[in-house]
Each structure stands twice: as structure tokens, then as C-alpha cells.
Structure 1
Amino acid sequence: MKIKVLGSSAGGGFPQWNCNCRNCDGVRRGTLNARRRTQSSIAVSANGEDWLLVNASPDLLAQIAANPELQPARRTRDTGIAAALVIDAQIDHVTGLLMLRERDTPLPLYATDAVWDDLSTGFPVAPILSHYCGVEHRRIALDGAPLSLAELPGVQIDALPLSSKAPPYSPHRHAPARGDNLGLTITNPRSGRRAFYAPGLGAIEPHVLDAMREADLLLVDGTLWTGDEMIRLGLSNKTAADMGHLPQSGPGGMIEVLDSLGPRKIRKVLIHINNTNPILVEDGPERRVLAEHGIEVASDGMTFEL
């Protein structure tokens, strides 16, 4: 089973189009040792030909161009994307679905009831695509049963509901529903090896911690280094917690959580990295801290085999 990182940045990408913070300005000028990144998304395959797109970022067309496996060119019109799954209805995870409108068959889309409701109303991606290729909703029931995807044999997915808020345009923004946000355990049934993917983690609930301990690969929330990062930079009045993210540093932060997972060998990778986060600087002190704790930073194009 292969997992490809199509995009490793948080919403807005890196550099963010309208941001001139130290990171964004430095990467544009070439004075900072950092890589450009597109917005968060991964792809999963058991055979290297049929891929599940997990989240569809606004950068999807650039990501397809950068990953030839997603365009195998077996016929005049073709795609390696067999189906899509979205973990929430956030704009940076679903806008790319509109870029798939030229499909010649309806797009199989795995989503919870709460997310499907948002994609049918507050951000009506599904009704819009009904005028083009169409969408076939594959329901993620959250009943504890694993997903066996007909379009992706050889891969098993377990969806874990996470504490979160629906997007601002959701009809139930102020009434959180079970299934607004998901973490995914992705398992290769043949090898028994598994990955846990959760680009948005505001709280480490017991079932989340269990999933992290049992994984061989973690791709988890790397959005912000400190809880007040955006406030200190004058870019927002929201803390990491307000935004639904656990910062890496400080008591109870992601570094501490990852350190607590015990002696079992787990590959630990941060993904969904905000443009302001100093871990983007490859020779910076924060990156050295992560290395001391055995934690990696995702970049576009990284591939993992399980």
C-alpha cells in the first residue's frame, strides 16, 4: 500500500498568496531554506494504479500534474483517481472536487452525513457537480465498521470522529455534529501495517490516542508551533485552540503527545503546516527540536509504503 503526500501545507498554501510574514517573504526571495508547499491532501493506493484522493484541495490540478501516477494516460481521457474521501467540509479540503467536473462518470465521494449535508447546502459542491459529472455519495456511517472501498480493493479504512466545528458556512456551525471532522486509520490488510491521518487535531481524545499508538505511520496536525502564533504575528486574534489545532510546543502539545506513545517504533510526520510555522525553515532551531524527538515534517511528494 502506498500513501503519497500531494499537499502538506495548511489552507492558503506556502507561501500564502497575500502573506508577507518572515516565512512567506523569505521563500519568495530565496533567502529562507524552505520548500514551497500546496494545500493538504494525500492519495492512497494498493496497486499503484487506482488511487483514493483523501481531501481535494484548491491546488488539486497542480498536484495531479506533479504526480504522474494520478494521470496514467491509458486512454484519451483518463484518471488514476478512482474515488475521493473528505474528512470535513472545510474549503481547503473540498474545493478541488470542482476541478474534477470533466469526469465521464459520477465521482464516488466518501463522506459522513454531516459533511454531505454541508456539501449539499452551505457549500453546495454536490448540486454544482450534478450539472457536470455528478457525485455518488458513499456514506461513512461511523458505526465502528471499517470501510471497504469497492473502488480501492486491498485498502481498509476506519473513520474516527474528532471533536471539531463545522465550517463557517455550515448550517450547523454552532451545533457541532458527530462526523464534522474525521481522523482515518488506513490499513494494508495483507501486511497489517497501518497509518493514522489527522491533519486537524484540536484534542487528543482516548480513541485518538489508541489509534496513534497502534499505527506504524502518523500523519498528524502540524499547523502551528505555538498556541498564540497567529496573535503574536498580528495575523489573527485566534489561538491554535480556537482554530481547532493542537500546537506542537508547550505542555500538552503535539511533541509531548508523540513522546508519550511509548517504545513501539512509529514514524511520526507532521502535516497541514501553516505558512507562519517556523518548522518550515529546514535549518531552523524548531526543526532541530523536532529531529531530537524523532519527528519529521511532511513535504509535497513524500511517499510511504506500508
Structure 2
Amino acid sequence: MKIKVLGSSAGGGFPQWNCNCWNCDGVRNGTLNAQRRTQSSIVVSANGEDWLLINASPDLLAQIAAHPELQPARRARDSGIAAVVTMDAQIDHVTGLLMLRERDTPLPLYVTDAVLQDLSTGLPVVSILAHYCGVERHAIPLDGASFTVPALPGIRIEALPLSSKAPPYSPHREAPQRGDNIGLTFIDEHSGKRAFYAPGLGALEPHVLEAMNGADLLLVDGTLWTPDEMIELGLSKKTAADMGHLAQTGAGGMIEVLDSIERAGVRKVLIHINNTNPILIEDGPERRRLAEHGIEVAFDGLAFEL
């Protein structure tokens, strides 16, 4: 099983187009030791040629251009993207679907019922694509059963419902539904290895911790360093919890959670990193602290093989 990070940033990318925080200003002017990042997305493959896209970010065209394996050029019109899973209906995870409209066959799209509702109403991406390539919808089960994607032989996928709010434009924004947001476990049937992916984690429920403890690779929420990060910078009135994210520091934070996972050889990687997060600074004290805990920071192009 091959996994590649297309984008490692939270919504807005890094630097964010309208942000002049210390991080964004520094990377823009070359005074900060940090890498530019596109908005979060990964791809998974069994053969290195056919890929399952997990979340279609607004940066998708730039991500395709940066990763030649996504354009194998086997015929006049071609793509290595065989199918797409969207884990929620947030703008930074679904608007890239519109960039796939030139397909000559319906786009295989794996979503929960709750996400399909949002993508048919509040943000009608599915309805728009019906006028272009069309969508071949596949339901993601939330009863513990695994599902497979034909282009990924030998790989099973399990979806875990997460506690989170639907997007602001969702008809059920104030009445959360099971499946508004999910985590994913990818299981290679040949190697027995497991990868757990959850770029948005607001609460560590027992079934989520169980999945994390059984994984050989963790790609998890690295959005904010402190609970009040956005408030302290004067950029928002919302805490990390208000935004549906678990900060890295503080009691019950992501560092503490990852420290509790003692599976031998497990790689612990933070992804979906907000432009304000000091862990973006390669030689900063926050990055050194993560290293002391055996925690990595994802970057665009980071690849894994399990």
C-alpha cells in the first residue's frame, strides 16, 4: 500500500492568501525556515498507478501538476485518480471535485449519506457535476463494515464516524448527523499493515482511540498548537475546540494522546496544519518538542509504503 501526501495544510494553505501573521509573512519574504503547503489531501494506491483521492482540495490542479504519477498518460485523456472519497463536506475538502469535471466517465465518489446530502443541497457540487461528467455515488458504511474500491485491490477501508459539526451551509448544521465527518483506516490485506487518517479530530472517542492504537501509521489532526491560538493572534474568536480540532498542547492534547500509543514502530504524523501553527517553523522550539515525542510533521510530497 502506497500513501502520498498531496497537501498538508489546513484550509487556506500556507501562506494563506490574506494572512500576514508571523508564519505567513516570514515564509512569503523568505525570512522563516518553513515550507509552503497546499490544502490537505492524500492519495492511496495498491499499484502506484491507480490512486484513490482522499478529499479534493481547491488546490487539486496544482497538486496533480506536482505529482506526475497522477497523470500516467495511458491514453489521450487520462488520470491516475480512479475514485474519490470525501470525509466531510467542507469547502477545503470538496471544491476540487469541480476540477475533475472533464472526465469522460462518471466520477466514482465515495461519501456518507450525510455528506451526500450536503453536496446535493447546501453546496450542490454533485448537482453541478451532473451537467458535466456526472457522479457514480458509492455509500460509505458506518456500521463497522469495511468497503473496497475496485482500483485498489488488496486494500480494505473502514470508516469511523467522528464527533463534529457539518459545514455552515449544511441543512443540518445545528443538528449533527452520524457521518458528517469520518476518519478512515486503510488495511493492506497482504502486509497486514494499517494506516489511520483523520485530518479533523475534535474528540477522542473510544472507537477512535481503538483505531489509532491498531495503526502502523497515524496521519492525524495537527491544526493548532494551543487551544486559544487564533484568539491570541487576533484572527478569530474561536478556540480549537470551537473549530472542531484538538490542539497539540495542554491536558488531553494531541501530544499527550500520541504519547499514549505505544505500538512498536508506529509512525505518528501531524497533518492539516494551520498557517498560524508554530510547528511549521522547521528549526523552531515547537518542532524540536514534537521530535522529542517521536512526532513528525507532514509536508506536501511526503510518501509512505506499508
The bucket for the TM-score relative to the shorter chain is over 0.9
SS at match of 2:119: helix
**How far apart in 2 are the matches of 1:36 and 1:294?**
23
1:208-219 alignment, distance < 5 Å? 208-219=208-219
1:75-224 alignment, distance < 5 Å? 75-224=75-224
Question: Which deviates more from structure 2 when the two are superposed, residues 257-266 or residues 169-178?
Answer: 257-266
Output the amino acid matched with 2:5: V
SS at match of 1:147: coil
SS at match of 1:78: coil
1:46-85 superposed Cα distances (whole Å, 9 cap, x missing partner): 0011100000000000000000010011111100000000
1:9-28 superposed Cα distances (whole Å, 9 cap, x missing partner): 00000000000000000000
**How far apart in 1 are the matches of 2:23 and 2:106?**
40
1:217 touches 1:268 (CA, 8 Å); kept in 2? yes
2:214 touches 2:263 (CA, 8 Å); kept in 1? no
**How far apart in 1 are the matches of 2:118 and 2:292?**
41
The residue that corresponds to 1:23 in the other structure is 23
1:103-153 superposed Cα distances (whole Å, 9 cap, x missing partner): 000000000000000000000000000000001110012121101112322
The residue that corresponds to 1:289 in the other structure is 289
| Cα distance, 1:86 vs structure 2 | 0.4
The residue that corresponds to 2:301 in the other structure is 301
The residue that corresponds to 1:234 in the other structure is 234
1:104 touches 1:133 (CA, 8 Å); kept in 2? yes
1:164 touches 1:244 (CA, 8 Å); kept in 2? yes
**How far apart in 2 are the matches of 1:152 and 1:234?**
45
SS at match of 1:120: coil
Unaligned runs of 5+ residues in structure 2 are none
Output the amino acid matched with 1:294: G
Number of residue pairs matched by the alignment: 306
SS at match of 2:139: strand
**How far apart in 2 are the matches of 1:219 and 1:209?**
13
**How far apart in 2 are the matches of 1:85 and 1:292?**
34
Q: TM-score, normalised by structure 2?
A: 0.99
RMSD over aligned Cα atoms: 0.6
Residue 61 of structure 2 corresponds to residue 61 of structure 1: yes
Percent same amino acid among aligned pairs?
A: 80
Unaligned runs of 5+ residues in structure 1 are none
